[in-house]
């Protein structure tokens, strides 16, 4: 959760701080529209501050849609729901479950606002499962002139493709209609196996389950693999998570054994290989997300699916040879292609590799070295996670970049939503 004391704002990891002139929490559409027209600019829209990049930072106004929450209406036949964009994903899952609807997939946590998830192309894992924005059927958005505009897939498919992953740069998304599915249960399994074997059969194993993902624990040689598949089996108990304790132990081993890598490798490798398997069945909303209490910073690149194993081998080598102080796991997921112009999954099945770093320590040397590898293999950065690209590089990664920028200019002709960071990111002259 972001922290706001007076007008001080900071993101979840503490890597971004801001002191805007105004923190605005409108309660009604007219008020929101008036704020966009007259509040000090630039205006940046905030979800819950779970992005690691300065997307929300503003000296002018930070506009939160936390009062825009709930399910407005739903269609039981089409399994669609009209949702207020400030609704936290965790609350949304409960509301949807109660009306017999389900999100097809989710990310690691459920703390974000749904509008925030859409804003950066937030995703989970599954070779046939898209990011949250692939559920969009229609949206209501207040543009840079305070005008309330409605778009839907049938009548305005280009606009929907332009603004599906919008970085808060086109307007304030207030309501969205999303395509859901009927409630379902997931059979979740977790096991460990040597990472070499996983990488050798990467393409098969990542396609073998509805959702496949794994973590590589530095210096362990082992992958912690997670799979989920839909089942009719009855619900069983979800084992308690030990992630926070495990991170504490990995940190201690890093500190005490950094000069004895062979001993660190032996201890961690043995401990991970002996982790008990997990095997349980849960309602969809109780399976995907976990608590993340230990603060970290993160970089994640989305690569062409076929490049996944090759790139991961290089990242593991980089970490273990040049950055042995890193103890946070590397997370590997897969995502289905889509048609949204600023989606990092645009027209390509992707393998997402996320690297993490203790929030108390400088991540940049490791992240910059990894970024060179990701970029050499056609990676596109997660919009909400640390990267060092600007419009110069990004425009070459997105075939519909200039079309998206033309729609942005139409939505925000006076650049009300363009902060110095957004100007660099999108190549806007202020």
Binding stretches for ligand FAD (CB under 6 A)? 12, 44-51, 55-56, 65, 85, 107-109, 112-113, 115-117, 119-120, 122-123, 166-168, 172-173, 292, 382, 384
Beta bridge partners of 223: 193, 216
Which tokens hold the place of 410?
């139409």
Long-range Cβ pairs for the range 248-252 (8 Å, 24+): 248/294, 250/217, 250/218, 250/327, 250/328, 251/327, 251/358
Closer by beta carbon to ligand FAD, 130 or else 282: 130
Which tokens hold the place of 195?
């990472």
Q: What are the start-end ranges of the H helices in 153-298?
A: 157-163, 195-200, 202-207, 243-257, 261-273
Closer by beta carbon to ligand FAD, 60 or else 324: 60
Nearest distance, CB of residue 75 and ligand FAD, angstroms: 22
Nearest distance, CB of residue 302 and ligand FAD, angstroms: 9
Distances (CA, A) of 296 to 237, 354, 361, 400: 29, 12, 9, 33
DSSP string, 387-402: ----HHHHHHH-TTHH
Closer by beta carbon to ligand FAD, 271 or else 294: 294
Which of left, alpha, beta for 126 (phi over 0: left; psi -120 to 50: alpha)? left
Nearest distance, CB of residue 133 and ligand FAD, angstroms: 11
| Secondary structure class of 207 (helix, strand, coil) | helix
Asked if residues 239 and 158 have their Cβ atoms less than 8 Å apart, the reply is no
Which of left, alpha, beta for 427 (phi over 0: left; psi -120 to 50: alpha)? left
Nearest distance, CB of residue 260 and ligand FAD, angstroms: 31
Closer by beta carbon to ligand FAD, 120 or else 227: 120
Nearest distance, CB of residue 169 and ligand FAD, angstroms: 7
Closer by beta carbon to ligand FAD, 381 or else 384: 384
| Secondary structure class of 282 (helix, strand, coil) | strand
Q: What are the start-end ranges of the H helices in 323-430?
A: 364-376, 391-397, 401-411, 420-426
Q: What phi and psi values does residue 58 have, to the nearest 5 degrees?
A: -155, 145
Nearest distance, CB of residue 92 and ligand FAD, angstroms: 12
Q: Which helix (H) or strand (E) holds 308?
A: helix 308-322
Closer by beta carbon to ligand FAD, 131 or else 223: 131
Nearest distance, CB of residue 265 and ligand FAD, angstroms: 28
Nearest distance, CB of residue 54 and ligand FAD, angstroms: 9
Closer by beta carbon to ligand FAD, 257 or else 285: 285
Closer by beta carbon to ligand FAD, 46 or else 311: 46
**Within 10 Å of residue 295's Cβ, how many Cβ atoms?**
12
Closer by beta carbon to ligand FAD, 221 or else 228: 228
Closer by beta carbon to ligand FAD, 117 or else 379: 117
Asked if residues 371 and 299 have their Cβ atoms less than 8 Å apart, the reply is yes
């Amino acid at each position: 959760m972001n922290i706001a004391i007076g007008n001080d704002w900071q993101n979840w990891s503490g890597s971004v701080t801001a002191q805007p002139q105004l923190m605005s929490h409108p309660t009604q559409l007219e008020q929101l529209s008036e704020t966009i027209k007259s509040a000090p600019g630039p205006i940046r829209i905030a979800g819950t501050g779970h992005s690691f990049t300065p997307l929300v930072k503003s000296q002018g106004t930070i506009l939160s849609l936390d009062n825009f929450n709930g399910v407005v209406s739903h269609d039981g036949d089409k399994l669609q729901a009209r949702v207020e964009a400030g609704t936290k994903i965790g609350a949304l899952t409960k509301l949807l479950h109660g009306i017999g609807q389900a999100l097809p997939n989710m990310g690691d946590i459920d703390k974000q606002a749904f509008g925030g998830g859409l804003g950066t192309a937030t995703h989970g894992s599954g070779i046939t499962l898209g990011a949250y924005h692939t559920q969009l059927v229609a949206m209501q958005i207040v543009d840079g002139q305070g005008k309330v505009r409605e778009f839907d897939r049938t009548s305005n498919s280009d606009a929907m493709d332009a603004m599906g992953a919008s970085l808060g740069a086109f307007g304030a998304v207030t309501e969205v209609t999303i395509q859901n599915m009927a409630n379902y249960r997931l059979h979740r399994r977790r096991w460990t196996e040597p990472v070499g074997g996983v990488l050798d059969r990467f393409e098969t194993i990542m396609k073998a389950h509805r959702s496949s993902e794994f973590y590589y624990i530095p210096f362990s040689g082992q992958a912690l693999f997670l799979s989920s598949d839909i089942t009719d089996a009855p619900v069983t108990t979800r084992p308690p998570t030990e992630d926070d304790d495990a991170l504490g132990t990995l940190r201690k081993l890093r500190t005490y054994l950094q000069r004895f890598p062979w001993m660190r490798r032996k201890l961690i490798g043995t401990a991970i290989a002996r982790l008990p398997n997990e095997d349980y069945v849960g309602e969809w909303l109780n399976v995907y997300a976990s608590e993340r209490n230990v603060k970290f910073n993160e970089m994640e690149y989305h690569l062409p699916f076929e490049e996944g194993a090759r790139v991961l081998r290089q990242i593991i080598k980089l970490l273990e040879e040049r950055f042995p102080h890193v103890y946070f796991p590397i997370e590997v997921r897969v995502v289905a292609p889509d048609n949204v112009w600023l989606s990092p999954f645009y027209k390509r099945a992707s393998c997402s590799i996320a690297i993490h770093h203790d929030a108390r320590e400088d991540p940049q040397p490791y992240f910059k070295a990894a970024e060179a590898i990701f970029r050499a293999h056609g990676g596109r950065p997660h919009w909400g996670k640390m990267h060092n690209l600007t419009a110069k590089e990004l425009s070459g990664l997105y075939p519909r970049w200039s079309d998206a920028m033309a729609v942005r200019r139409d939505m925000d002709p006076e650049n009300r939503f363009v902060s110095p960071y957004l100007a660099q990111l999108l190549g806007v002259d202020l």
